[in-house]
Structure 1
């Protein structure tokens, strides 16, 4: 619990606010951010991009050697 006050405010009031304070890895609940099938689809796409990049890199090495 945290309490805030504004002594210059009229009428004088005291306000109490409850909030959940998270830091670090706990900051984001990744399982609620993305559904599993969405993550799986992204994983497949990243693997495809990885193989494409490797193929381009190998081709660049081949052309440099020529």
Structure 2
């Protein structure tokens, strides 16, 4: 997921080159793709930090 989704949160939007609307769009797109998956559990491999199982993460509620 690159810098969009992390184990305990989502990407930063406070940087000069970041875009809150782009992040929101990316999160909505990821949610749609994940909802259509038939394979479980969904493992996320972020650009930084450790991989995690989405359903066991606090970001699963976003």
TM-score by length of 2: 0.35
Structure with greater helix percent:
1
TM-score by length of 1: 0.33
| Structure of greater Rg | 1
By relative contact order (CA 8 Å, sep 6+), the higher-ranking structure is 2
